[in-house]
């Protein structure tokens, strides 16, 4: 039977650091997995992207470091997703999380 869940996407780059706790990806991953026990999460690594400030993040031979885009996508019951977002929001700049309701088959 289909169930309505909330899907969230978090947009960061792989080199982004958290103010106190190290690599932002690892901080968010641990919070979603260990603290909120989110049902499912997938991390996508992009080959290129740009930020709201126009900074290009791409993998090519001219760049010595590749600070590639990452998308953390997760879903669960709407209340769990909302609680998780409130926990991770302080680690992110505004406008880096999108959500919508979806049907889980």
Question: What would the pLDDT profile of 21-52 be if each residue is shown by its tens digit?
Answer: 788 999 999 999 999 999 999 999 888 787 77
Residue spans of the domains in the chain: they are 3-104
Query: Mind giving me the DSSP string for 25-39?
Result: HHHHHHIIIIIS--S
By the 8 A CB rule, do 89 and 31 touch? no
Global pTM reads 0.85
Length of the chain: 105
Distance, CA of 87 to chain centre: 13
Banded pLDDT at 18 (limits 50, 70, 90): confident
| CATH number assigned to the domain covering 3-104 | 3.30.70.120
């Amino acid at each position: 039977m289909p169930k309505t869940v909330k899907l969230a996407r978090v947009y960061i780059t792989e080199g982004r650091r958290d103010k106190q706790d190290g690599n932002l990806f690892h901080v968010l991953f641990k919070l979603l997995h260990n603290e909120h026990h989110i049902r499912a999460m997938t991390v996508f690594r992009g080959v290129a992207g740009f930020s709201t400030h126009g900074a290009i993040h791409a993998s090519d031979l001219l760049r010595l470091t590749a600070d590639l885009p990452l998308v953390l996508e997760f879903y669960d019951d709407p209340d769990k997703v909302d609680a998780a977002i409130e926990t991770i929001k302080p680690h992110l700049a505004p406008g880096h999380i999108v959500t919508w309701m979806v049907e889980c088959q």
